[in-house]
Amino acid sequence: MTAPILSPAAISGRPAKAARRRPGRGGAAAGMRPGFLGYGLLVAALLGAILPLYWAFLIASGDSSSLNDVNLPWWPGGNFLENAIKVVSNDRVSFFKAVLNSLIVSTVVSASVVFFSTLAGYSFAKLRFRGKQSLFIFVIATTAVPTQLGVVPLFIVMSQLGWTGTLGAVIVPGLVTAFGVFWMTQYLSTALPDELIEAARVDGANMFKTFWYIGFPAARPAAAMLGLFTFIATWTNFFWPFIVLDPSNPTLPVALSQLQANYFVDYSLVLAGVLLATLPLLLLFIVAGRQLVAGIMQGAVKG
């Protein structure tokens, strides 16, 4: 069925030589540059992506009257910093705490997903053991299971443990993903030559040393990609943190959800908070956007 294709060259963000097309040969539009219609569509898509954010910035840099102003200026006003400071200095919003919490949760979850996925992926891709086939099929099957629907018992267990309101309640359910194991297995089975492992074994390295010094370094490009996507998914996750956390100790999305409902009537403040909260991932996007594009395209299916 569905099998992501991961190739070492492409995952590092560079297109593989063979995949690079000779000029003048498009797909369905072979031999043509995209016409007026093609570029028009792309420009429209780009505007659709940027305009809502820009509009939010226009409101956030104005004052309380901007939202209802039909003759909104096309150029931002000068109040953004002032509005932003109002948001972060409001004690009840606990903005900095939310940023810190989101940072802790996303970092721990991605590190854990990357480590356990690489470990399991190495085993599935490179080691021989009884029941491997069926266990791996189980992993594939569970990638499609909507685990988010288990919130009711998860909440009951968390409150019995006394964990509700703590970051642990958000971190623990995210520690492993079936997708991560699948992704690392696919990558390692092509990227890591068996000869390397054999050589290490012949040299007398035990199993874990072989993994640590041969398997883990070889997995690095795919592991970085997995870490990046897990970080973004965790950072933007709302449903479960919203249920289990308290607004006094929130992650960033939970804090945002409270902005308008409980604290501000002035929407320029709400949107200033929204944009501030978007900033960290926007910076990540500027630094690693190329890798994100490559990662999505590598995770795509074929055959």
Nearer to another protein, 9 or 172 (CB): 172
Nearer to another protein, 5 or 100 (CB): 5
Q: Which residues pair with 301 in a beta bridge?
A: 4
Nearer to another protein, 85 or 127 (CB): 127
Q: Which residues pair with 4 in a beta bridge?
A: 301
Q: How far is the CB of 91 from another protein (least distance, A)?
A: 20
Closest to 77 (Cα-Cα) out of 52, 51, 58: 58
**For residues 80 and 272, what is the distance between their CA atoms, to the nearest angstrom?**
7
Nearer to another protein, 81 or 141 (CB): 141
DSSP assigned state of 15 = P
CA distances from 40 to 33, 45, 50, 51 (A): 13, 9, 15, 16
DSSP assigned state of 78 = S
Q: How far is the CB of 75 from another protein (least distance, A)?
A: 16
Q: Which residues pair with 79 in a beta bridge?
A: none
Q: What are phi and psi of 4, to 5 degrees?
A: -60, 140
Nearer to another protein, 9 or 139 (CB): 139
Lookup result for tokens 């990046």: 228
Cα 302 from chain centroid (whole Å): 22
Residue type, 58: L
Helix (H), strand (E) at residue 256? helix 252-258
Residue type, 32: M
Q: How far is the CB of 89 from another protein (least distance, A)?
A: 20
Q: How far is the CB of 22 from another protein (least distance, A)?
A: 9
Q: How far is the CB of 272 from another protein (least distance, A)?
A: 11
**For residues 27 and 30, what is the distance between their CA atoms, to the nearest angstrom?**
5
Nearer to another protein, 82 or 280 (CB): 280
Q: How far is the CB of 192 from another protein (least distance, A)?
A: 12
Cβ proximity of 59 and 268 under 8 Å: yes
Closest to 237 (Cα-Cα) out of 249, 251, 223: 251
Nearer to another protein, 96 or 208 (CB): 208
Q: How far is the CB of 203 from another protein (least distance, A)?
A: 8
